[in-house]
Amino acid sequence: MPVVPGDVTPLWRRTQQLRSTPQTYTIAGMTLGQFIRSRRETLGVSLRSLSATLLEDHGKDLDHSTLARIETGATRRLDPSLLVAIAGALGLTDDDLARALRLSVDEAA
């Protein structure tokens, strides 16, 4: 299904697939958590700073230790709205996230 700008349905379906499937998906050879960590480190953002941004800008109260567990893969099932908030806090658009999730689903197949 092609991604239409402004349409979150494909994004929702992809995040639902990630959330409901116990497999570890990879994005360009990285797990989803490694992808998030790589993006965060590239931007020079600490876990505490990302946690504060998630609360202030996206209304998601997620402490830095939970973010660390997501990055290490200890927490693999993410609520779709949380994944969208993390992506937004890291400067990724819905299209970027959908493209990354499409890659992860395609690579797992």
Structural domains of the chain ordered from first start: 9-108 (1.10.260.40)
Per-residue pLDDT tens digits of the chain, which is 109 residues long: 444 445 444 444 555 554 444 445 456 677 788 888 988 999 999 999 999 999 998 899 999 999 999 999 888 677 888 888 999 899 888 887 777 776 555 544 4
Cα–Cα dist 78/60, whole Å: 13
DSSP 23: S
Is the overall model pTM greater than 0.85, yes or no?
no
